[in-house]
A and B are shown apart, each in its own frame.
Chain A
Amino acid sequence: MNKLFRTKNKIAIILPAFNEELSLDSLLNEIKLHFKKQFYIVVVDDGSDDETFKIASKYTNFVLRHAVNLGKGAALRTGCKFAFSILDVNSVIMMDADQQHAVDDLLKFIKKINKGYGLIFGVRSFKGMPRFAAFANKVTSLILKIIYGIYIPDILSGYKAISRKVYERLNWQAVGYEVEIDIAKIVAREKIPFITLPIKTIYLDQIKGVSFVDAVRVWFNLLGFK
């Protein structure tokens, strides 16, 4: 594993977290256990009113805090800005803090980053996904394909890696969950090259996933309405 880190790539993991005290502790522990000090861990506490900030501070010095909850998109923006401008990393890996992204998959991302890929989308298998989430995902990809002519599977998965060059082109404006759509739209519009990476499908909390209202909002966003 160590060979992978003998590269010039400096990587940060961005973890946007809102009231994730139950999952953050074990997630950060697992990351530390598997990867020791191979990369920076940046946690963005997005205005949590639980112990998220305190727990994150136990594991990393890089815990940013939003005074109020803004949304996933804003948290990712804050984290990326910090990682690229202050930590001066070459790439970031965006990961959800609710343990629905497997820590083992980080290794796959790192391998691809080291091979020089600038944008890597983690793609889950639809097999283990709740029916509605799978449906929403397929429809979203289909709408993107119809409008922009590019097919990106599993757009709603937040597990992705972005290099500095790609980050400078992305510049997303969405503050909430629509960030995934915003990124996909920019990628399609700007024709930014990307690759997909199969990742594990984990659904721990069925309620927490994409609801019908979220899906409709995402589709409207895809069509240009905010």
Chain B
Amino acid sequence: MQLEFGLICLVLSDILQVKIMGIFQIISLFFALFMAYVVRIHYYRSILSLLEASAWYSLWFLFAVLAVFPDLLQGISDYLHFDRVFDFLIVGAFMVISVLVVRTYFKYREIKITLEKIIEEQAQQDIMSKLHKRNLYKKTLVVSS
């Protein structure tokens, strides 16, 4: 009885695993298509140049191909001594995400500093023009000198 139950569980989990992988592949495919659509929108809004859009299209095309045929990576995966292609993909994805996070952080810091400078300089310019307009600048300097 226990043996039969174990066998049923094994078969079920096997079927389930195949189904999950299948669904995962479909989701990945749709995700790639959606991202390609996002690239298209950005290209038509002139946010991306033709070259940039082409690069992004290629990336998502590659992503879609690998999602449908993950075995294409089997050779590289074996060469790098990964047990499964999935492990290789996870490590690769983690590396890409890490690079993107670090790059985004540096970019964010750069933009933040630039924005602060602009706002602070603008505040100084505004008050100077206000003081000049009201002829207060000269008065201020006389008072303070």
Task: Verify if B23 is at the interface (C-beta below 8 Å from A).
Answer: no
Chain B 108-123 interface 0/1 with A at a Cβ cutoff of 8 Å (1 = within)? 0000000010011011
Give the residues in chain A near B46, CB-CB below 8 Å: none
Report chain A residues within 8 Å CB of B131.
61
Q: Is B55 part of the binding interface, using a Cβ–Cβ cutoff of 8 Å?
A: no
Asked if B144 lies at the interface with its beta carbon under 8 angstroms from chain A, I say yes
A44, CB-defined interface residue at 8 Å: yes
The reply on B145 being an interface residue by CB < 8 A is: yes
Q: How far is the CB of B142 from chain A (nearest CB, A)?
A: 11
Residues on A with beta carbons closer than 8 Å to the beta carbon of B130: 61
Q: Which residue of B lies closest to A81 (CB)?
A: B124
Q: A61-B131, A62-B127, A82-B127 are in contact. Are A89 and B119 (CB under 8 A)?
A: no
Question: Which residue of chain B has the shortest Cβ distance to A175 in the bound complex?
Answer: B116
Establish whether residues A64 and B127, one from each chain, have CB atoms under 8 Å apart when the complex forms.
yes
Q: Is A50 an interface residue (CB 8 A)?
A: no
Chain A's closest residue to B118 (CB) is A67
Q: Known: A86-B128, A86-B140. Contact between A74 and B145, CB under 8 A?
A: no
Interface residues of A in 64-118 (CB under 8 A from B): 64-68, 70, 74, 77-78, 81-82, 86-89
Q: How far is the CB of B105 from chain A (nearest CB, A)?
A: 11
Q: Is B126 an interface residue (CB 8 A)?
A: yes
Q: Is the CB of A66 within 8 A of B123?
A: yes
Cβ–Cβ contact A65 & B128, under 8 A = no
Establish whether residues B124 and A82, one from each chain, have CB atoms under 8 Å apart when the complex forms: yes
Q: Does B134 sit at the interface, judged by CB under 8 A?
A: yes
In Å, the complex CA distance between A109 and B14 comes to 78
The residue on B at minimum CB distance from A47 is: B119
- Docked complex Cα distance between A26 and B105 (Å): 42
**Residue B72 at the chain A interface, CB threshold 8 Å:** no
In the complex, the answer to whether B119 meets A70 with C-beta atoms within 8 Å is: yes
Cα A42 to Cα B61 in complex, Å, equals 58
* B116 contacts A64, C-beta separation under 8 Å: no
Check if B134 sits within 8 Å of A61, measured CB to CB: yes
Most buried by A among B116, B124, B128, B145: B116
Report yes or no: A66 in contact with B128, Cβ–Cβ below 8 A: no
- The residue from B116, B127, B144 contacting A89, defined by CB atoms under 8 A apart: B144
Q: Which residues from chain B sit less than 8 Å from chain A, CB to CB?
A: 116, 119-120, 122-124, 126-128, 130-131, 134, 136, 140-141, 144-145
19 contacts between A and B (CB under 8 A): A61-B134, A61-B136, A64-B127, A67-B119, A67-B122, A68-B119, A70-B119, A74-B116, A74-B119, A77-B120, A78-B120, A78-B123, A78-B124, A81-B120, A82-B124, A86-B140, A87-B140, A88-B144, A175-B116
